[in-house]
Amino acid sequence: MKYIKTLVEPPIAILKIDRETHLNALNIDVIQQLSAELDILESLEGVRVVIIIGAGNKAFVAGADIKEFANYSIEQGEDLSKRGQDALFNKIENFKKPIIAAINGYALGGGLELALSCHMRVASENAKMGLPECSLGLIPGYGGTQRLVRTIGRTHATEMILTSRVINVDFAEKIGLINVKSSQEELLKTAKKLATSCVNNSPKSLETAIKCINKNFDKSGLIFEQKEFGQLFGTSEFAEGVSAFLEKRKPNY
């Protein structure tokens, strides 16, 4: 199954995550395909900026695929986090060209973590953002505990993670989670406008600036998060959280 649609409109490339029936949830195939497309775009000289968007008008990405990891062991949980971070989230953050997330609806869990890995974020008025992993008996495992704090600061990040609160676009703009807000119809246009503001700059300067911006990001936090994320797969609270999601009910902890 092909989950990524790539549209190259030099100097911009658009990657669309196309798994609308599951609100574009990130299963292993989506992650691998997105990673492979990024490798191609990084070497395409005509492409200067990449935009990532979700298919449809309901979700950017509604998280990691809960059904896929529902029965994972501790080792598989840690591996899921490690592989995902290596293959995609860290790759995006350290990409040589700017990547913009166009958040066109739900950006929850791994979806928000994906957007946080991107260098900039634009969001439509219907966007809803949050890290609800603690409501599932987990924690963010694709860098969310590190990148959200770094992006919006400890006060709001801690509240968002500990409460699983889902926020709207106005609040996201207020706390600096997104760069630009847009109507749903104009989202891609808004993302392209931001992309165009970068494309006349020196590609080598953009690459170097990204490298320097990321320089002080302590990678040990990401590795610590992977291990802690994995441990939670061995708990009865994880089993309850995931069962509750699958049975479409509230968990009872």
The answer to whether residue 132 forms part of the interface with ligand COA (CB under 6 A) is yes
Rounded distance, CA 158 to CA 155, Å? Answer: 6
First CA to last CA across the chain, in angstroms? 37
**CB distance 102 to 187 below 8 Å:** yes
- Cβ distance to ligand COA smaller for residue 72 or 179: 72
- Cβ distance to ligand COA smaller for residue 163 or 214: 163
With CB under 6 A as the contact rule, the residue among 19, 22, 82, 156 that binds ligand COA is 22
Q: Which one of 6-14, 17-25, 82-90, 201-209 is the stretch in contact with ligand COA (CB under 6 A)?
A: 17-25
Residue for token pair 């293959």: 87
CB of 246 to ligand COA, least distance (A): 8
The answer to whether residue 62 forms part of the interface with ligand COA (CB under 6 A) is yes
Q: Which one of 18-26, 150-158, 192-200, 236-244 is the stretch in contact with ligand COA (CB under 6 A)?
A: 18-26
CB of 194 to ligand COA, least distance (A): 26
Whether 37 sits among the annotated catalytic residues: the reply is no
Q: Mask of contacts with ligand COA, 110-129, x by CB under 6 A?
A: x-------------------
With CB under 6 A as the contact rule, the residue among 109, 143, 144, 230 that binds ligand COA is 109
The answer to whether residue 37 forms part of the interface with ligand COA (CB under 6 A) is no
The answer to whether residue 78 forms part of the interface with ligand COA (CB under 6 A) is no
Whether 133 sits among the annotated catalytic residues: the reply is yes
Q: Which one of 92-100, 104-112, 116-124, 223-231 is the stretch in contact with ligand COA (CB under 6 A)?
A: 104-112
- Cβ distance to ligand COA smaller for residue 15 or 64: 64
**CB distance 50 to 93 below 8 Å:** no
- Catalytic positions, written as ranges: 113, 133
